[in-house]
Amino acid sequence: MRFLTSCLPLALAVLAQPADDVSCAPSREPATDVETVRYVRPSERAFVPESEITVKKSKTGLSVECVTERGKSKLIVSSRYDDRGRLTAAKATLVNGDKQDVLSATVAEGKATIRREGQPAQEVDVAPDAIVTSAPDWTDAFLLCRRYDRKAGGKQSFPGLWIHPEQATQLPKFAIERTGQDTIDHAGKELKLDRCTIWLRGNRTYATWADEQGRLIKLVPLPYKEGAENWIVLEGYEKSASGLRPR
């Protein structure tokens, strides 16, 4: 399960350098652009941290890292792309108390070599621009909104690479479609948001709202249930985006 049980394209120049490691090590070149966003979710009468996504780029490539915490458990998912937008490495680290399990992947010539400690390496075919994600993790939703081509419109599909230290690697297909536009009042100004439906692993559907830069503002699972606390929102938009509902 993904949530509480489990759109201008991303000019692939807005991903980032992940945490250091042999398979997913960042370039020594300083990042020329860094973006960090934080998402929160409702919990009783307050909002609690859900995920922090850091996006960086440099002249030699780009990468993205998402850290999601659930109680004492933390999942860190990172991916790295070269200057042509081709996936070169990925990593998933699951932390439970003092225990840490790691999956690393290196990608070359359309194949990803998956490594887990104490297990034989596994090789899978992978698309060069695959979106790397896991669960619990929102990299897929975040990047779908970034990669969506608003000029082209319609339903657009993207390849994925789903990795997890304790679960089998998967190659899901993701999709996103713009369904309308909503306007909210944020910081005293009107902000127009694209409303989209997205399809993630297992064909699970969600409604998302994103600004003109493709920055994910809010996500709710479908079918929508009034009063449910299974949605996330960009930190700072808790009040201004509270009235957004799927149509």
DSSP result, 132-168 = EE-SS--HHHHHHHHH--TTT-SEEEEEEEEEETTEE
Q: Rounded mean pLDDT of 116-140?
A: 96
Q: What pLDDT is recorded for position 28?
A: 58
Is the pLDDT reported for residue 3 higher than 60? Answer: no
Lowest mean pLDDT among 15-19, 74-78, 125-129, 219-223: 15-19
**How would residue 10 be classed by pLDDT, with cut points 50, 70 and 90?**
very low
Q: Rounded mean pLDDT of 32-61?
A: 94
Tell me the whole-structure pTM to 2 decimals.
0.87
Q: What pLDDT is recorded for position 45?
A: 83
Q: Rounded mean pLDDT of 11-30?
A: 45
Q: What pLDDT is recorded for position 42?
A: 95
**How would residue 32 be classed by pLDDT, with cut points 50, 70 and 90?**
confident
Contact between residue 244 and residue 193 where contact means Cβ atoms under 8 Å apart: yes
**How would residue 31 be classed by pLDDT, with cut points 50, 70 and 90?**
low
Determine the Cα–Cα distance for residues 246 and 220; give it in Å rounded to an integer. Answer: 8
Is the pLDDT reported for residue 217 higher than 60? Answer: yes
Determine the Cα–Cα distance for residues 150 and 224; give it in Å rounded to an integer. Answer: 25
**How would residue 44 be classed by pLDDT, with cut points 50, 70 and 90?**
confident
Q: What pLDDT is recorded for position 12?
A: 40
Torsion from C-alpha of 116, 121, 122, 127, nearest 10 degrees: 90
Question: Domain spans of the chain?
Answer: 33-174
Contact between residue 131 and residue 173 where contact means Cβ atoms under 8 Å apart: no
Q: What is the largest CA-CA distance in the chain?
A: 56
Q: What pLDDT is recorded for position 29?
A: 63
More confident residue, 97 or 31: 97
pLDDT tens digits along 142-183: 999 999 999 999 999 999 999 999 999 999 999 999 999 999
Q: What pLDDT is recorded for position 24?
A: 56
Is the pLDDT reported for residue 99 higher than 70? Answer: yes
How far out from the chain centre does Cα 37 lie? 11
For residue 201, give the nearest of 133, 113, 155 by alpha carbon: 133
**How would residue 204 be classed by pLDDT, with cut points 50, 70 and 90?**
very high
Is the pLDDT reported for residue 189 higher than 80? Answer: yes
Determine the Cα–Cα distance for residues 98 and 72; give it in Å rounded to an integer. Answer: 10
pLDDT tens digits along 224-243: 999 999 999 999 999 999 99
For residue 68, give the nearest of 86, 81, 50 by alpha carbon: 50
More confident residue, 23 or 42: 42
For residue 107, give the nearest of 35, 153, 187, 171 by alpha carbon: 171
Determine the Cα–Cα distance for residues 88 and 37; give it in Å rounded to an integer. Answer: 24
Contact between residue 81 and residue 130 where contact means Cβ atoms under 8 Å apart: no
Task: Classify 173 in phi/psi space as left (phi over 0), alpha (psi -120 to 50) or beta.
Answer: beta
Encoded tokens for 23: 């398979």
